[in-house]
């Protein structure tokens, strides 16, 4: 029997400000987190290269977000 598809995970925030604070905390952590190992795909990277790659990766994930206020056209 094939495995069941993963359920979509939904994160809700009580306010936009709560969401904003969470995003800012994640960005701060990304800035301060030390490099633990070289990238298996790209090898050694400078802090700036690593940061840019992580931001592009995050940008990809953000592109999948949908507004909860869609109107049917």
Whether the Cβ atoms of residue 30 and residue 51 lie closer than 8 Å to each other: yes
Q: What is the pTM of this model?
A: 0.53
| Residue 2 within any structural domain of the chain | no
C-alpha R_g of the chain:
17
| Residue 41 within any structural domain of the chain | yes
Number of domains in the chain: 1
Q: What is the mean pLDDT of residues 6-12?
A: 71
Structural domain including 32 reads: 16-69
% of the chain at pLDDT higher than 90: 25
| Residue 9 within any structural domain of the chain | no
pLDDT at 29: 86
| Residue 21 within any structural domain of the chain | yes
The residue ranking higher by pLDDT, 66 or 39, is 39
| Residue 7 within any structural domain of the chain | no
Whether the Cβ atoms of residue 11 and residue 32 lie closer than 8 Å to each other: no
| Residue 36 within any structural domain of the chain | yes
Q: What is the mean pLDDT of residues 27-34?
A: 84
Q: What is the mean pLDDT of residues 39-59?
A: 90
């Amino acid at each position: 029997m094939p495995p069941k598809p993963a359920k979509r995970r939904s994160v809700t925030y009580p306010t936009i400000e709560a969401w904003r604070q969470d995003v800012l905390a994640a960005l701060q952590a990304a800035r301060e987190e030390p490099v633990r190992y070289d990238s298996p795909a790209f090898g050694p990277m400078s802090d700036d290269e690593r940061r840019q790659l992580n931001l592009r990766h995050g940008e990809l994930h953000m592109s999948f977000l949908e507004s909860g206020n869609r109107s049917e056209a």
